[in-house]
Structure 1
Amino acid sequence: MNDSKHPLSLGQQLMTRLDEAARCSLPGGGVTRLFCSEEHRRVLTLIGDWMRQAGLTPELDASGNLVGRNDRALAGERTLILGSHQDTVVEGGKYDGMLGVALPLQALQALKDEGIELPYGIEVVAFGDEEGTRFQSTLIGSRALAGTFDPASLEARDADGVSLGEALRDFGGDPGAISSLARAPEQVLGFCEVHIEQGPVLEHRDHAVGVVTALTGIERHRITLTGKAGHAGTTPMPGRHDALVGAAEMVMEADRVLNATQELVGVIGKLDVRPNAVNVIPAEATFTLELRSPDPRGRRVGREQLLSAFANIAEARGLVLDMQQTYSAEAVDCADWMIEALEAASEECGQPAERLFSGAGHDGLAMHDVTDIGMLFVRCRGGLSHHPDEAITAEDAEAATRVMMAFLRGFDERS
């Protein structure tokens, strides 16, 4: 048991906090915490306490972000923004997103305990929604800060028919005031996020941390195939217009193209069938297609190849095809000076930190529109993420916290 003679290390303290946050979840495996949910409300109570312990003043903003500011930020001085998202996928892990909220607060509290006052403004943001699990409208909070929030997304509805705008008002936000959250670029020093890698590179290199060079581009499409329902026992096989069979052929074509194309990955992650009955030929199948690549040209070529193949499959099977793009975010580069600052901080802490690319999207995709961005990756076991078995070690948590402390101490010399 811990006592005053054997205080917990920074890494152990951080792991304890992350365990506490993980209990703010719907029942079931892993962590499920959706935007503007009761679990969201509960975790913000925890995060608000962490912010106050770090010397920050917490405030829920109009878009559902919890923002903690130090005195200099409250006084209007130029500000460095840190943070990540609190929301999760369904039955996700306890570190994706939340690590980037808890770790900078742990680092700031440690600096405060050492009597170090940073000579610039600090904001730590627990972004409300990055995963898009509840409303399929991602980066809500970070787009609000960047000034690129689309008010039309307030009409998006969850599975129960509740609109994003309604949920936000019930949560204590103010949809009508979101536009006022946009940060003035001249007032922002930069945005830096800590995140688990969600890949195996750091584990293969046996490094605790890595410095990110760029964030991937992402696009999503909704594909709907309409055929003709019929009795499964009396309708002859030849001439059927089975929407699910057409969708299955498209899934296999997507897998073939994605495996054959360099620097392009993707997934068909959701499939809905109507009428979804055991003895009825499917009349309609709707599925999602997500494509990711750092190369916009490669993503465009892959998209065109797939959508052309889908059109040919639909025609051959007598199906009506409807294809709609639902989301798009171009790849963005991390700022050279931010990369170098994180490398210098890692070197100061004795941590090798090679550069690597992020294959996932993050709040930095939005924040890039208002300021320079940087990102520090932390090793995760097996590269596993969006899964209940997502894991990091206390030793790596300690190393990353120390790197963030060094980054913050030296930041004024580089900004």
Structure 2
Amino acid sequence: MTVSSNFPLTLERLNAATRAGFTTLLDGTYEHSPWIAEAAWDARPFASLATLKHALVRATRAGGREAQLGLIRAHPELAGKAMVAKTLTAESTNEQGKAGLTACTPEEFARINELNAAYNRKFGFPFILAVRGPRGVGLSKQQIIAAFERRASHHPDFEFDEALRNIHRIAEIRLDDKFGVEPTQGNLVWDWAESLARFSEPEYAARGELTVTYLTDAHRATAAQLADWMRGECGFDDVTIDAVGNVVGVYGGSDASAKRLITGSHYDTVRNGGKYDGRLGILVPMACVRELKRRGERLPFGIEVIGFAEEEGQRYEAVFLGSGALTGHFDERWLDQADANGVRMRDAMVAAGLRAEDIPSLKREISRYLGFIEVHIEQGPVLNELDLPLGVVTSINGSVRHVGEVVGLASHAGTTPMDRRRDAATAVAELALLVEKRAQSQPHLVGTVGMLEVPNGSINVVPGRCKFSLDVRAPTDAVRDACSSDVLAQLKALCERRGVSYRLQETMRASAAPSAPAWQQRWERAVESLGLPVHRMPSGAGHDAMKMHALLPQAMLFVRGENAGISHNPLESSTAHDIDLAVRAFQTLLEQLASEIR
């Protein structure tokens, strides 16, 4: 069977093809590995391109490790001998060319080949990287070398899986080329996120880092840019920056008195953070409103998109300032807090032209709204490991945090016998292991001793004091509280057994926020409409939806992150394809809701 180059491939042709014809049509999608298409043929018919992609992933998984290793080894080295000899496949030539690898300087070529050799010695297979990147336009050579150097330190099993994930990403882009499609909405949102990232606080910007904390110049510039896009490119009817700094865009319904759906997330960041945490949840619905405006369409409800001004608690010791103002939980005592430079929140607001006295009026009237939904990057490895672009959140974990200190007796490390020690640090170390074991006893329960500090510690002194933190999270408050109670009982017992004492202070308690069943089901149907399996999962991190839960029914959609789902980190990333699916899922949810109301 000959594949015509005069017109793009279609699902109709694939679904109607024989196994051999199907395999030929997909030739080159996976490097020198026709067995993947042959196995995926059994999953026909494919309802969407996303369904086909997932079937190819499943076929690769089912092939077993030896076949997967053969797939990895079928790929050429980056800027390697095959490129020099011009024996790359057309697909690989295109990809390496887009990344500039066919035009390396002698120094770049030498460095990449040095990295290739060291990587192959360690792992036994070539370094695989989707060099066309998350946007599909090509990574820079500097980005490629940085990825090379970073991934060389991975555990072999993790790196094996990372190689496969990059192969699936390569295949995804190659399928777009075959089908003549591109993720236009995902590209738009991705480009917006990149553009927003140009605003960063000066000391961090000088190092190429992204940091946007509450009411700094970078924060205000970010808000202004969001407002400009809402007014201009997206066509919202009304756009304001409210008294706490939230950017609020309203796109009215077909009836001006209709209720509204609220959606959004935060635009502040942690220090040296990523470009997608929070911001994805603002930009995705903005893209949906833009499309509605382009089509001249109004829904039987309004849409209120909010860029929440603050969620991370980085500049002041207060969190959820933006969403808390909407739920009536803004604590006026926060206004007198000072940041590290002594600037009070109240004064920062005045400098930004905000009126703190108007914050109480921001509380939303429940009767005017349908509910709250939020799109968010997952901030974890689960979707990445499952090779799924989207996940439906079942609950935002409730959490409780403590800080404490164990007090023993500092003594000489050489002269104090092991059975006479009152070691504060080993007591905390034992606690950390007990927390780990207890948290592993139930699904989705997590416990962390994240801070351990021996004040004035010395290499030759048995620690007499050790400060520590304790963080317990679970999808329900009952599971969280049972774990916390058990851990605190074990802390008391181990301290008595070791002859040490402890002090403990609870610093935060947040209730779990289970998704409203009807809204969760809407997300599930939206994901199914894309031809994807529905994966349900809790959120271990807090979100604005957690705060809005006090006011309205809420539900969230997670989007897969790259680089093992890392977040609060410059490596935080998502692909234009995954973002495009999130936009389409959001559009489908809006259509479902409109059908229910009409």
State if a TM-score over 0.5 links the two structures. yes
Coordinate RMSD, CA, aligned: 3.4
Indicate the residue corresponding to 2:586 in structure 1: 404
Name the counterpart of 1:374: 555
Contact 1:155 1:163 in 2 (8 A): yes
The 3-state SS of whatever aligns with 2:521 is: helix
Q: Equivalents in 2 of 1:169, 1:228: separation in Å?
A: 50
Look up the equivalent residue of 2:323 and give its one-letter code: S
**Shift in CA distance, 176/252, structure 1 to aligned 2, threshold 3 Å:** farther
> Equivalent residues in 2 for 1:69-88 (5 A)?
69-71=250-252, 77-88=258-269
Structure 1 CA distance for aligned equivalents of residues 321 and 461 of structure 2: 40
Question: In structure 2, what is the equivalent of residue 392 of structure 1?
Answer: 574
Q: For the structure 1 residues 87 and 266, does the alpha-carbon distance in structure 2 shift closer, same or farther, using more than 3 Å as the test?
A: farther
- Matched ranges for 1:83-98 at <5 A: 83-98=264-279
Tell me how far apart the structure 1 counterparts of residues 333 and 487 of structure 2 sit (CA, whole Å).
29
Structure 1 residues 156 and 282: alpha-carbon distance in aligned structure 2, compared to 1, 3 A threshold: farther
2:401 aligned to 217, 220, 231, which one? 220
Aligned to 1:340: 521
Deviation at 1:32, TM superposition (A): 2.6
1:142 maps to what in 2? 323
User: Does structure 1 residue 21 correspond to structure 2 residue 192?
Assistant: no
- Is the counterpart of residue 55 in structure 1 residue 235 in structure 2? yes
Matched residue SS, 2:376: strand
1:89-140 per-position Cα deviation (integer Å, ceiling 9, x unaligned): 3332211111101111112112211222233222111112222233343222
Does the Cα contact within 8 Å between 1:218 and 1:291 map onto a contact in 2? yes
The 1:295–1:333 alpha-carbon spacing in structure 2 relative to 1, beyond 3 Å, is closer
Residue of structure 1 equivalent to 2:213: 34
Which residue of 209, 224, 240 corresponds with 1:45?
Answer: 224
SS at match of 1:376: strand
The question of whether the paired residues in 2 share the 8 Å contact of 1:155 and 1:165 is answered with: yes
Q: Describe the SS at the equivalent of 2:323.
A: helix
User: Equivalents in 1 of 2:511, 2:541: separation in Å?
Assistant: 12
Tell whether the 8 Å contact from 1:197 to 1:378 is kept in structure 2 after alignment. yes
- In structure 2, what is the Cα distance between the partners aligned to 1:74 and 1:280? 74
Residues 351, 399 of structure 1: 8 Å contact kept:
no
Shift in alpha-carbon separation, 1:388–1:74, aligned structure 2, 3 A: farther
Distance 1:43 1:167 in 2: 16
Distance in 2 of aligned mates of 1:164 and 1:199: 32
SS at 1:47 equivalent = helix
Deviation, structure 1 residue 367? 0.7
1:414 matched to 2:596: yes
> CA 1:236 to 1:58, structure 2 compared with 1: closer, same or farther past 3 Å?
farther
Q: Is the 8 A contact 1:263 1:298 kept in 2?
A: no
Q: The residue matched to 2:394 in structure 1 has which SS? A: strand
Normalising by structure 1, we get a TM-score of: 0.85
1:36-72 superposed Cα distances (whole Å, 9 cap, x missing partner): 2232122112211221122223322222322122356
CA distance in 2, matches of 1:279, 1:148: 50
Residues 158 and 76 from structure 1, CA distance in 2 versus in 1: closer, same or farther, beyond 3 angstroms?
A: farther
Q: Which structure exhibits the higher relative contact order, with contacts defined as CA atoms closer than 8 Å and separated by 6 or more residues?
A: 1
CA distance in 2, matches of 1:264, 1:8: 36
Q: Which moved more, 1:102-111 or 1:273-282?
A: 273-282
Point out where structure 2 has 5 or more consecutive residues left out of the alignment. 1-97, 99-136, 138-180
What does residue 509 of structure 2 align with?
328
* Distance change >3 Å, CA 74–CA 66, structure 1 → 2: farther
Q: CA deviation at 1:400?
A: 1.3
Deviation at 1:350, TM superposition (A): 3.9
Change (3 A) 1:69 1:286: farther
CA distance in 1, matches of 2:464, 2:199: 40
For the residues of structure 2 that align with 1:241 and 1:108, how far apart are their CA atoms? 63
Q: Which amino acid aligns with 2:372?
A: F
- Structure-2 change in CA distance of 1:202 and 1:252 (3 Å): closer
1:309 paired with 2:484, answer no
Decide which structure has the larger Cα Rg and report it: 2
Which residue pairs with 1:192 in the alignment? 373
Say whether the 8 Å CA contact 1:73–1:122 is kept in structure 2: no
**Aligned with 1:298: secondary structure?**
helix
Deviations 1:155-190 (A, max 9, x none): 555444544444444444333332221111101111
Percent identity of equivalent pairs: 37
Deviation at 1:208, TM superposition (A): 2.3
Distance (whole Å) between structure 1 residues aligned to residue 536 and residue 512 of structure 2: 16
Mapped to 2, the partners of 1:282 and 1:42 lie a distance apart of: 48
Cα shift readout 1:364-399 (whole Å, capped 9, x = no counterpart) = 111111111121221222232222222211111111
Q: Measure, in 1, the Cα distance between the counterparts of 2:305 and 2:409.
A: 53
**1:356 partner letter:** M
* Deviation of 1:16 (Å): 0.9
**Does the residue aligned with 2:393 lie in a helix, a strand or coil?**
strand
- Structure 1 gap ranges (5+): none
SS of 2:230's equivalent in the other structure is helix
> Separation in 1 of the partners of 2:219 and 2:567?
20
**Higher relative helix content:** 2
Q: Secondary structure at the match of 1:210?
A: strand
Contact 1:142 1:366 in 2 (8 A): yes
Assess if the C-alpha contact under 8 Å between 1:107 and 1:405 holds in 2.
yes
Distance 1:210 1:169 in 2: 41
Q: 1:18 to 1:7 in 2, by over 3 A?
A: same
Q: Going by fraction, where is strand more abundant, 1 or 2?
A: 1
Moved more, 321-330 or 393-402: 321-330
Partners of 2:448 and 2:590 lie apart in 1 by 38
Aligned partner of 1:175 in structure 2 is: 356
Q: Post-superposition shift, 1:15?
A: 0.8
Shift in CA distance, 224/50, structure 1 to aligned 2, threshold 3 Å: farther
Shift of 1:284: 5.7
User: 1:247-294: per-residue Cα shift (whole Å, max 9, x none)?
Assistant: 444434433433445432122334555457899987765433211101
Change (3 A) 1:150 1:11: same
Deviation of 1:240 (Å): 7.7
**AA matched with 1:54:** C
Distance 1:13 1:414, change over 3 A: same
Letter in 1 for 2:575: T
